Amino acid sequence: MVNILPAKEIYLQGNEHALLLLHSFTSHTRDMKKVAAKLHEEGYTCYAPLYRGHGNAPEQLLQYNVNDWWQDVMNAYQFLLDEGYQKISVIGISIGGIFTLKLAQLEQLEQIIVLSVPVEKEPEQLKQRIMDYAYNYKNIEGKSALQISNEIEPFTNMPLDSFIAFQHFIKDTMLHLNKITIPIAIFYGERDEDVYAQSAETIYQQVQSSKKKLKGFANSKHLMTLGRDQEDIMKEMMEFLRMNNGNLTQ
């Protein structure tokens, strides 16, 4: 059987402008590994925390919920403050993008970039994400179909309660988009599900930022930072972060 190594957080110290990099649900810091390396080359300090239960055996995810992961994000933000960084921007993908929007509603950030963000998710969809992750993880481990079937049972039997709370967290974040006034870039993959392009448009329309950018990437699916447009996406990120004034257009 294959032994899958657990993921780790990423912390690359650079200049006084710190970037908090937030990964997606059921994934881990690999979502942001290339982004961190590239932006660190440009001089930025980059910190990608690992949410509890992520980047390891899927059973660990069963112990936590959205409130734990949100607390991980808040702890990561506080870590950067404690390290002495007063200029902090945030980049988040998928659920990491939800956390980015929430953080921008509550804290004093410089700029934010969100990718592949859903404005809504059904509890059943969120549960299915964990089940798919568990199946794929065990398949990569080389386990038999019978063993996988037996080990998937606890995931199948998960109650929807924590996923309903997750859905409410997303809805609450979207209800307060008008609190966001700092510069924001919203990216989506044109090969992702249509709902993500629609979500990007909704976010673009509802934030109150005078500097905002909406952009689709033709060759990208959901995990944009790992896909075929990743070089273009990182160039767009760098350009956006460098901008200090002037209104952005679509």
Active-site pick, 27, 89, 94, 220: 94
Whether 209 is catalytic: no
Sign of CA dihedral 166, 82, 11, 103: positive
Rounded Cα–Cα distance for residues 172 and 42 (Å): 35
Q: Which runs of E-coded beta strand occur in the chain?
A: 10-12, 17-22, 45-48, 87-93, 112-115, 184-189, 212-217
Cα–Cα distance measured from residue 135 to residue 158, given in angstroms and rounded to the nearest whole number:
15
Q: What are the backbone dihedrals phi and psi of residue 23, each rounded to the nearest 5 degrees, phi first?
A: -80, 180
Active site residue 94: yes
Determine which one of 23, 40, 54, 222 is catalytic: 222
User: How many CA atoms lie less than 13 Å away from 113 in the CB half-sphere?
Assistant: 25
Phi–psi pair at 120, nearest 5 degrees: -155, 155
Clarify whether 222 is annotated catalytic: yes
Candidates 72, 192, 220, 229; catalytic one: 192
Which residues are known to be catalytic?
A: 94, 192, 222
